[in-house]
Chain A
């Protein structure tokens, strides 16, 4: 069954009294790449999630999830939608298995199918005998797994994840990332909302950045992180200190990243020549020279900063 593009939002406006939470939001999420949903507090991420889940109405615009209009066909739009909330949305007096089975049945799976599928999903998540224990006895990591199991038991085509790696220790984080990557490979489109930008960098290839109810950037993460032209990341072997002094004497902007690593601005051939000249004079070998990229955090902050400076041009 062709379910259409996972998400199509056009001109979405949502007011809370006099406050405008979403201000003419328009974007599209296509099947395939995982999309990171970013934005400062109050950007509209929560309101957008609620709208996609059909938990709140909106003043104007159109929202289509998996080909269904959320306002006109809310139940159909949620049929193949999975949601993993940030908080502990589990029945504490039931076992992990019972929670996942119940989630499957609530999504419309027949009893026997929900039972066998729940076992299959919990196997994938690496939950063996522990699935038969009450959820109230689980650690944070196990609860996150059960929540993920409940979100994917019915085989959703679109998965909304809210802070999926929250509260996990490093080992559990790696495990959860591997599980999510496996799910994404099956053809499930994922939207990941998180304040932890390294998590978004690890899971997603596209980002949607919101600020004050508007789209600030929509597209590939690689393009967002791309640095300006003529900015290079360099690693040298030799007297790095002398090299740095010579760069400064030649009026080249330099930002140190480590003992022998730095970012240098050399947008013109003349400045590139000065850079090589400094290396030769300092008797240093340039072992790595590549275009400098921003981390997602740097790119995100730069985007917000430029929005505040320019009054809101989107990327």
Chain B
């Protein structure tokens, strides 16, 4: 039997402002990410490119210290961010796919929306959690890269370091915002986390395959790159260094995808809100 036998009583204690609810939602989802076996494994695995890149950076610095600048240049940061985008995409499948889909499957939307939680707060909490996870594998390692690159460089160039920092921060945040929007939109359209994850992975990687096929079919036309999601992320990241037609077009398409995804997501949530009660 229960310890407290005084019967039911009202609660008249303190209540936090409604503006903080998104933090509660984000904290709940981060806890769920921590409990996810594949999510934990992917986050650990995402550190491998960072370790490899660190080794390359240090080795390059040592060689340049002894023998002078190398005759070739490699865009290490670009390659590194390309690798991390893959991990973001996979985490989108393991962690992001269920963010709204699980709530729909468990009929738990009314748990959120029948409380003093706005649509913005609900989406904000989910986006903050997924964005934080993406930041952990995309922006945070990128910042470590820039810091180590500056520290080990035989002749540190402040401008290069600054541009790299900008690339990581600006491209990183923009890429995260777009991918979060796309993943949440897909999650809002399904109820089975596994299927939503599969659809997301298929979309992401099949778009790359289709792009390659289009390039071969058209003899290497540039527009074919705009079909590939992985290439859009890679090419738009280079915008900080060099404004080429490719990087501008990629950034434009990605931005458009992001805007459309977020707009569709808000519209979708409005419909889900309406269907949350089925008395």
**Across the interface, do A107 and B116 meet the contact criterion of CB distance under 8 Å?**
yes
What's the least CB distance linking A17 to chain B, in Å?
Answer: 13
B102 — which chain A residues lie within 8 A by C-beta? 91
Flag whether B67 is at the interface (Cβ < 8 A).
no
**Across the interface, do B11 and A186 meet the contact criterion of CB distance under 8 Å?**
no
Separation of A186 and B7 alpha carbons in the complex (Å): 9
Separation of A93 and B9 alpha carbons in the complex (Å): 29
Separation of A193 and B276 alpha carbons in the complex (Å): 16
**Across the interface, do B28 and A90 meet the contact criterion of CB distance under 8 Å?**
no
Sample of 18 further A-B pairs with CB below 8 A, known A78-B115, A109-B16, A162-B279: A49-B279, A53-B114, A75-B116, A79-B18, A85-B110, A88-B106, A89-B106, A90-B108, A91-B111, A92-B106, A106-B117, A108-B20, A108-B116, A109-B13, A109-B15, A125-B2, A155-B10, A183-B8
- Whether A50 touches B274, Cβ cut-off 8 Å, given contacts A106-B24, A106-B25, A109-B15, is yes
Task: Select from chain A the residue with minimum beta-carbon distance to B118.
Answer: A75
- Interface positions, chain B 152-195, Cβ under 8 Å from A, are none
- Whether A79 touches B8, Cβ cut-off 8 Å, given contacts A88-B107, A193-B279, is no
Separation of A186 and B110 alpha carbons in the complex (Å): 25
List 24 interface pairs A-B (beta carbons < 8 Å), by A numbering: A55-B277, A75-B116, A79-B18, A83-B114, A85-B279, A86-B278, A89-B106, A89-B111, A91-B108, A102-B111, A106-B112, A106-B117, A107-B115, A108-B17, A110-B16, A123-B2, A155-B9, A155-B11, A163-B279, A182-B8, A185-B7, A186-B7, A186-B10, A188-B10
Flag whether B21 is at the interface (Cβ < 8 A).
yes
**Across the interface, do B116 and A89 meet the contact criterion of CB distance under 8 Å?**
no
What's the least CB distance linking B273 to chain A, in Å?
Answer: 5
Flag whether B52 is at the interface (Cβ < 8 A).
no
Flag whether A105 is at the interface (Cβ < 8 A).
yes
Interface string of A41-74 (1 = CB under 8 A from B): 0000110011001011000000000000000001
Interface string of B1-45 (1 = CB under 8 A from A): 111110111111111111011001100100010000000000000
- Provide the main secondary structure of the chain B interface: loop
Flag whether A126 is at the interface (Cβ < 8 A).
yes
What's the least CB distance linking A308 to chain B, in Å?
Answer: 23
**Across the interface, do B111 and A153 meet the contact criterion of CB distance under 8 Å?**
no
Separation of A181 and B196 alpha carbons in the complex (Å): 44
**Across the interface, do A89 and B10 meet the contact criterion of CB distance under 8 Å?**
no
Flag whether A140 is at the interface (Cβ < 8 A).
no
Give the interface residue-count category, chain B: 35 or more
Task: Select from chain B the residue with minimum beta-carbon distance to A81.
Answer: B114
B10 — which chain A residues lie within 8 A by C-beta? 155, 157, 186-188
What's the least CB distance linking B33 to chain A, in Å?
Answer: 13
- Whether A113 touches B273, Cβ cut-off 8 Å, given contacts A102-B28, A106-B21, A124-B4, is no
A110 — which chain B residues lie within 8 A by C-beta? 13-14, 16
Flag whether A122 is at the interface (Cβ < 8 A).
yes
Flag whether B113 is at the interface (Cβ < 8 A).
yes
**Across the interface, do B276 and A108 meet the contact criterion of CB distance under 8 Å?**
no
Separation of A136 and B32 alpha carbons in the complex (Å): 16
- Chain A interfacial positions (CB closer than 8 Å to B): 45-46, 49-50, 53, 55-56, 74-76, 78-79, 81, 83, 85-93, 102-103, 105-110, 113, 117, 119-128, 150, 152-155, 157, 162-163, 179, 182-183, 185-188, 193
**Across the interface, do A87 and B107 meet the contact criterion of CB distance under 8 Å?**
yes
Separation of A86 and B107 alpha carbons in the complex (Å): 10
What's the least CB distance linking A95 to chain B, in Å?
Answer: 13
Checking B2, B9, B17, B276 against A55 with a beta-carbon cut-off of 8 angstroms, the contacting residue is: B276
**Across the interface, do A76 and B116 meet the contact criterion of CB distance under 8 Å?**
yes
- Whether A45 touches B116, Cβ cut-off 8 Å, given contacts A109-B13, A123-B4, is no
Checking B14, B25, B279 against A45 with a beta-carbon cut-off of 8 angstroms, the contacting residue is: B279
Interface string of B255-279 (1 = CB under 8 A from A): 0000000000000000001101111
Separation of A155 and B13 alpha carbons in the complex (Å): 9
**Across the interface, do B4 and A108 meet the contact criterion of CB distance under 8 Å?**
no
Separation of A105 and B13 alpha carbons in the complex (Å): 13
**Across the interface, do B277 and A79 meet the contact criterion of CB distance under 8 Å?**
no
**Across the interface, do A186 and B9 meet the contact criterion of CB distance under 8 Å?**
yes
A56 — which chain B residues lie within 8 A by C-beta? 273-274
Task: Select from chain A the residue with minimum beta-carbon distance to B272.
Answer: A55
For the complex of A and B, the 3 pairs showing the least CB-CB separation, nearest first, are A155-B11, A123-B2, A108-B15
Separation of A88 and B109 alpha carbons in the complex (Å): 11
- Whether A78 touches B116, Cβ cut-off 8 Å, given contacts A106-B111, A109-B11, is yes
What's the least CB distance linking B165 to chain A, in Å?
Answer: 36
Checking B7, B117, B279 against A46 with a beta-carbon cut-off of 8 angstroms, the contacting residue is: B279
**Across the interface, do B11 and A153 meet the contact criterion of CB distance under 8 Å?**
yes
A126 — which chain B residues lie within 8 A by C-beta? 1-2
